[in-house]
Amino acid sequence: MTQRTEAADDRPKADGRNPFEKFVESVNQVVSRAPFFLVILAALALWAASYPLWSSTTKWELALHTGSAVLSLLLLVLLENAGRRAQEAAQEKLNVIAEALSDLMASRADDDPDLQKSVDKLREAVGLEERH
């Protein structure tokens, strides 16, 4: 069994997420599925059907614009956060793979100077020397 690398040890544990990260993940799971689209369509249908209940067309339209603007802003912030975290997790996985590959190549580089040059290029490209 191999020893965990420093990069793997530095990675936050899945159970160590804060409440905001858990909330973002659950919102992302809900809004990225088809039923959420149906809920939005139902809300628009209810809004359209509520026209006779409003005293003026302006207030009726303002209700839609205000609600949709607030919802759009909140979803944008939450989904951008989820996307950033997913991108960071993917990058960390690539870095761990590159680190393992460079270690494997370095262990074989004693006999091949070209392989050592490739190891140096890989480490420089990924920035492994700077991270550890």
In degrees rounded to 5, what are phi and psi of residue 3? -80, 145
Q: What is the pLDDT of residues 99-114, one digit of tens each?
A: 888 888 888 887 788 8
pTM of the entire predicted model: 0.58
Q: Report which DSSP code applies to 51.
A: G
Q: What is the pLDDT of residues 25-71, one digit of tens each?
A: 898 888 888 999 999 999 999 999 999 998 899 999 999 999 999 99
